[in-house]
Amino acid sequence: MSLTITIDQQSGFCFGVVYAIQMAEDYLENHETLYCLGDIVHNDLEVNRLKSKGLKIITHEDLKNLRNTSVLIRAHGEPPSTYQLALENNIELIDASCPVVLKLQNRVRNAYDSETQIIIFGKPGHAEVNGLLGQTQNQAIVITSLEDLNSAPIDYSKPIQFFSQTTKSTAKFYEIKAEIEKRIENHFKANDTICRQVSNREPQLEKFAQNFDLIIFIAGKKSSNGKVLYEVCKQANPNSKFISSIDEIQKEWFIGINSVGICGATSTPMWQMEEAKKWIENHIALISN
């Protein structure tokens, strides 16, 4: 039997990442260099592709030393302090913040006051979370799991507003929400701020992964969304393999395999999945035939 290889057409960049990359490419068509504050996407191969076009990745420390230039803000968004620094240093900001992230920032900023505790379900240090913390003068409490509710400095006698990083698990958000509701003694409002374009990938991916003997899941090692979606694949199909590049594919994975599904995170470009398909066709499918 010949080996069939199918790419999940629901995988690939979310619209926020597409928007940011398009803005970078449009700028670089007419300019030699564009600075980008942090990796434009958590995918090293895509970052390297854009670097070859003139994109230069910088840190917040680098930003302090820049003057009279242009800097791209990626889809993850930035705290108010970044905009203030750009103003002081005469830096033109090309703002590619995802509209979903900007809406979340506004909601967090409007909810923040001296009486209300802001709790954010997210990854500490993640660019999006840093942007959200900045809306609360870094007073919000970031938690990563249900267990954090026992150690985080939360006062359950005071009002709480609960938000989520846009790319976190919907199921875990509601699990944490239910636990806070058991403990809260005052006003509590939970705001489901998870991006549906991201969260809807989970049921779609679960169905996709069940249809194949082997799943090749592609994502950057730094992608939070990639970790979440890979676990969805692994639950649906234990024979799922995580790779960041075709160099990591192992031929022994394909022994006794008749069908392969290729999928990825919201930070995985379609060209990378197509590259994996071509590699398998050239190195595995021809042999198995």
The helix/strand/coil state of 281 is helix
| Interatomic CA distance for residues 198 and 18, integer angstroms | 14
Distance, in Å, from the CA atom of 228 to the CA atom of 167, rounded to the nearest integer, reads 9
Of 25, 128, 206, 274, which residue is the catalytic one? Answer: 128
* 215 DSSP β-pair partners: 240, 261
How many helices (H) and strands (E) are present in the chain, helices listed first? 13, 12
Cβ atoms 179, 171 nearer than 8 A: no
- Cβ contacts of 39 within 8 Å, gap of 6 or more: 47, 57, 74, 222
Q: How far is CA 271 from CA 9, 128, 163, 237, 278, in A?
A: 12, 26, 34, 24, 10
Taking the mean position of all CA atoms in its chain, how far away is CA 250? Answer: 26
Looking at residue 253, the DSSP 8-state letter turns out to be G
* Contact predicate 172/140, CB 8 Å: no
Active site residue 128: yes
> At residue 210, what are phi and psi to the nearest 5 degrees?
-75, -10
Q: DSSP string covering 66-128, please? A: --SSEEEE-TT---HHHHHHHHHTTPEEEE---HHHHHHHHHHHHH--SS-EEEEES-TT-HH
- For the annotated catalytic residues, the residue numbers are 128
